[in-house]
């Protein structure tokens, strides 16, 4: 029962994240960086962005199973259901390396955002 509740809670949190809008009622205009999940891998697995920039990471899950984008470094976690696209706001970030992974397929779904 607890697992079903947590799955429901995570999906509700994802929906809230995907519909996040600013006070004007419109999505914030940000640079978008696109990655995909294919065969439980992030493609590309390395992304480079400018320091102190704020981006919208657009994650297209092309797998037939859900994946959870997670990053302790970025303090983000979002479930991306199978065959859907999720959007994650990141930044502004200081220079450095920020690791991310797919919690459901952690052995293969690994990536890094390099901030220069």
| pTM for this prediction | 0.75
Q: Where are the beta strands (DSSP E) in the chain?
A: 31-38, 41-43, 46-49, 55-61, 67-71, 76-80, 84-90, 96-102, 110-115
Q: What is the CATH number of the domain that holds 103?
A: 2.60.40.420
**Number of domains making up the chain:** 1
What confidence tens digit (pLDDT) does each residue in 11-56 have?
A: 655 555 555 544 455 566 899 999 999 999 999 999 999 999 999 9
Averaged pLDDT for residues 56-63: 98
Residue 1: DSSP 8-state: -
Q: Tell me: cis bond preceding 74? Omega within 30 of 0 counts.
A: no
Domain enclosing residue 100, as ranges: 2-115
When pLDDT is cut at 50, 70 and 90, the band that residue 65 belongs to is very high
pLDDT in tens, 82-102: 999 999 999 999 999 999 999
């Amino acid at each position: 029962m607890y697992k079903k509740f947590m799955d429901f809670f995570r999906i509700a949190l994802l929906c809230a994240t995907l519909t996040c809008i600013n006070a004007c009622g419109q999505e914030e205009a940000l640079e978008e960086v696109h990655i995909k999940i294919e065969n439980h891998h992030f493609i590309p697995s390395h992304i480079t962005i400018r320091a102190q920039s704020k981006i919208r990471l657009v994650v297209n899950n092309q797998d037939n199973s859900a994946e959870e984008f997670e990053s302790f470094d970025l303090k983000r976690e979002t479930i991306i259901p199978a065959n859907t696209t999720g959007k994650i706001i990141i930044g502004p970030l200081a220079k450095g390396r920020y690791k991310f992974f797919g919690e459901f397929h952690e052995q293969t779904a690994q990536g890094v955002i390099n901030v220069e």
